[in-house]
Amino acid sequence: MTNLMRSLLRWELFLIVAIVLELLIFSMITPGFFNIQNLLFSMNDFAYIGLAAIPMTFVIITGGIDVSVGSIMGLASISVGVLWMNGVNIWLALLIALVVCIIAGLINGLIVAFTDVQPLVVTLGTMFLFAGIALVISGGGSATGYEGISGFPDPFVEVANGMILDIPNVIWILFGVLIVFGTLLHFTKYGRSVYLVGINSKAAKYSGLSTKWIVMSTYMLAGLGGGISGVILTSYFSSARADLGSTAILPVITAVVLGGTSILGGKGTVLGTLLASVFVGIMNYSLQLSGMPSEQTTIVVGIILILAVLLRQSKWTYIKKRVSREKNQVPKISE
């Protein structure tokens, strides 16, 4: 019975229940909301959150944070657009943009790993750096303005707007990212090293792990995630802009923290991050569908982030300790 209770107290199960409740509540509030096809296609609007949040989970498990991911999305978008506009094959432009984003992540990782500056301060600075570089590239490519660079080839646009087996491509891409990064984090020696660095970096160092390389690599993965997310947004809107991910950082970090990753490091799962991304995405989509302006939905997401941190750091831990205590008392009673 106690084991059953412990299983039911898994954070991921709590998130699934929260998503079901969210769907039920918005179905009652907004007529016509609960339509499977509409919900599947609504994933196009918020899949970018999960694509950036899943790799970001690695960074936060090590005890770090990367607030530059929104600027990296814009950098990826405008890189694809400018390269393609100057005659580079669209798929080669996509690969180059992803490499650029990995290098951006490497810059973050190098500064965090080899200095004593806090990751928040480092990535806050690089957030402006990458946004500025994207604007410079945008100006050099004559791509300034709201409309950005448009007119991409159909196969590229279909990456985010097409379907396979009546399921939008972005869902397949999201699950592919979940499997790749989930395997890397939960089933490899590298993933165990990421957790160990987050739990105790000194112990990890004395046990022979290259902690600096592990920290750097997590920021490179976060850069790659930002790049993938930026490319998908570019394909979805069929437009490349330097400011494409400027509002993404709050929902991305909310998804990671709400997904159960400890802001102190050492805990977290990519499945939790994915479920939280869906929860935050549906919340955004539903509120806007019910007529709430996007500026006000930001307030709701901010409140969710605060509640998630409070719940994870206090009440949820208390409940689990109570269950564990009751489990340890059971044999004594039987004797």
CB 242 within 8 A of CB 149: no
Q: What pTM was estimated for this model as a whole?
A: 0.84
CB 215 within 8 A of CB 62: yes
Condensed to tens digits (0 to 9), the pLDDT of residues 75-92 reads: 999 999 999 988 899 999
Condensed to tens digits (0 to 9), the pLDDT of residues 143-161 reads: 555 567 888 888 999 888 8
Cross-strand partners of 239: 150
Supply the pLDDT for residue 265. 82
Supply the pLDDT for residue 1. 46
CB 225 within 8 A of CB 55: yes
State phi, psi for 139 to the nearest 5 degrees.
-65, -40
What is the number of other CB atoms lying within 10 angstroms of the CB of residue 72?
Answer: 33
Torsion, CA 13, CA 19, CA 24, CA 26, rounded to 10 = 160
Supply the pLDDT for residue 95. 95
- pLDDT under 70 in the chain at which residues? 1-9, 140-147, 295, 312-335
CA separation for the pair 87, 108 (Å, rounded): 30
Alpha-carbon torsion (150, 86, 84, 109), positive or negative = negative
Nearest to 130 by CA among 100, 86, 98, 150: 100
Q: Give me Rg for the CA atoms of the chain.
A: 21
Supply the pLDDT for residue 317. 59
Supply the pLDDT for residue 142. 56
Q: Write down the H helix ranges in 62-168.
A: 69-85, 90-114, 119-140, 154-161
Supply the pLDDT for residue 6. 57
Supply the pLDDT for residue 332. 47
Residue 5 burial by CB count (10 A; 0-12/13-18/19+): exposed, middle or buried?
A: middle
Supply the pLDDT for residue 218. 95
